[in-house]
Amino acid sequence: MSKMKVPKPPSGPVPWDKPLAHAMLADMLRIRRMEERAAELYGQQKIRGFLHLYIGEEAVATGVLRALATDDNVVATYREHGHALLRGISMQAIMAEMFGKQDGCSRGRGGSMHLFDRASRFYGGQAIVGGGLPLAAGLALADKLGGRSALTACFFGEGAVAEGAFHEAMNLAALWQLPVLFCCENNLYAMGTALGRSESQTDLCAKAASYGTTTVSVDGMDVVEVHQTALRAAQQVRQHSRPVFLELRTFRYRAHSMFDPELYRAKEEVEAWKTRGPIHTYTARLKGQGSLSEDEFLALDAAAQAEVEAAVAFAEGSDWEPVDDLLRDVHTAQGAA
């Protein structure tokens, strides 16, 4: 069990006009309802393989992705459904991909962990812990050499900070002054080991700062703080063409994956973190300042659920890839044994 004390729930005024405030809530609801439905479909064996849910962490993807421009690159982990959705991949294409159908964003070949869409500049879905970090450095290097103003936002968990790829990517990004926004989603447990049991230095910002990188630690359960900080960080990356490291302190309410018996943390800790839930605390703040009525909340939630059901219907109606196409885009070296 993590020894980190559970902070007080996010509070305070929401400094946005009503359209933006409601859009942020709608984004989080879309992620949450899609993830909940995906869990149900997994239990029905309509979604197979691995499934890593983002429930509880919605404020991170919502706050950061709305701070990016359309020509920016996004690299994510295997817990990437929400990032893909908010980046612009349709929920229908995401759901079909999780079903393994050919109308999925990766034609059904990638599944839950390998969502990809070049048009959205969404480069995965990386199944290897830390695997997206060198890719992010490479994308940023390409943009810099090409004279483009884009940045690359790279999402990864705190478990990746123990990987060599993290240190290599951080070093090169700082050394070559690459425009990378490193977004560490610190949910305290990586796959199933508390941070203090796997890393001798648990101050993740200190690790990133050792490379001369600007670092900021953010309450990842507060969509307001996440978005405001991400806006400033993205602006800094663009202006100076140098990396910035964000630690987003968050908590997943579900197990690491659907195969995880979750024996490594107490139910009391999970329940304590649920008091900080990004959706209900944000909703309460909006209602408290008169920016959201119950009817408006119900309408946003109904729209999210309708989108989910339409996506499920699309996935169920989509075809499997024909057997004759299974070798398409599969390449082997000439003369290989």
Dump pLDDT digits (tens) for 120-132: 999 989 999 999 9
* Structure tokens belonging to residue 38: 């995906």
C-alpha 176, offset from chain centre = 26
How confident is the model over 288-336, as pLDDT tens digits? 999 999 999 999 999 999 999 999 999 999 999 998 888 888 887 665 5
What φ, ψ does residue 247 adopt, rounded to 5°? -100, 120
Sheet holding 73-75, edge to edge: 73-75, 152-157, 180-186, 244-249, 214-219
Report the distance separating Cα 280 and Cα 286, nearest Å. Answer: 10
User: In the chain, pLDDT over 90 holds for what percent of residues?
Assistant: 90
pLDDT the model gives residue 285: 98
Q: Is the pLDDT of residue 242 over 80?
A: yes
Mean pLDDT (whole number) for 41-66: 97
Per CATH, which fold does 18-313 belong to? Rossmann fold (3.40.50)
* Structure tokens belonging to residue 194: 């508390």
The rounded mean pLDDT for the chain is 95
How confident is the model over 243-296, as pLDDT tens digits? 999 999 999 999 899 888 888 999 999 999 999 999 999 999 999 999 999 999
pLDDT the model gives residue 326: 82
Residues in the chain: 337
Report the distance separating Cα 105 and Cα 178, nearest Å. Answer: 29
Judge contact between 166 and 134, C-beta under 8 A: no
The full set of domain ranges for the chain reads 18-313
Report the distance separating Cα 155 and Cα 271, nearest Å. Answer: 26
Q: Is the pLDDT of residue 181 over 60?
A: yes
How confident is the model over 62-99, as pLDDT tens digits? 999 999 999 999 999 999 999 999 999 999 999 999 99
Q: Is the pLDDT of residue 4 over 70?
A: no
Within 8 A by CB and 6+ apart from 320, the residues are 100, 101, 102, 108
| Coarse DSSP helix, strand, coil percentages of the chain, rounded to the nearest 5 percent | 45, 10, 45
Within 8 A by CB and 6+ apart from 330, the residues are none
Judge contact between 177 and 241, C-beta under 8 A: yes
Is pLDDT larger for residue 336 or for residue 140?
140
pLDDT the model gives residue 336: 52
* Structure tokens belonging to residue 35: 């993830």
Mean pLDDT (whole number) for 157-162: 96
* Structure tokens belonging to residue 315: 């996935």
Within 8 A by CB and 6+ apart from 6, the residues are 269, 272, 273, 275, 276
Q: Is the pLDDT of residue 21 over 60?
A: yes
pLDDT the model gives residue 335: 57
| DSSP labels, 110-176 | SGGG---BTTTTB-----STTTHHHHHHHHHHHHHHTT----EEEEEEGGGGGSHHHHHHHHHHHHT
Within 8 A by CB and 6+ apart from 255, the residues are 261, 262
pLDDT the model gives residue 325: 87
Q: Where are the alpha helices (DSSP H) in 241-293?
A: 267-274, 278-288
- pTM (two decimals): 0.94
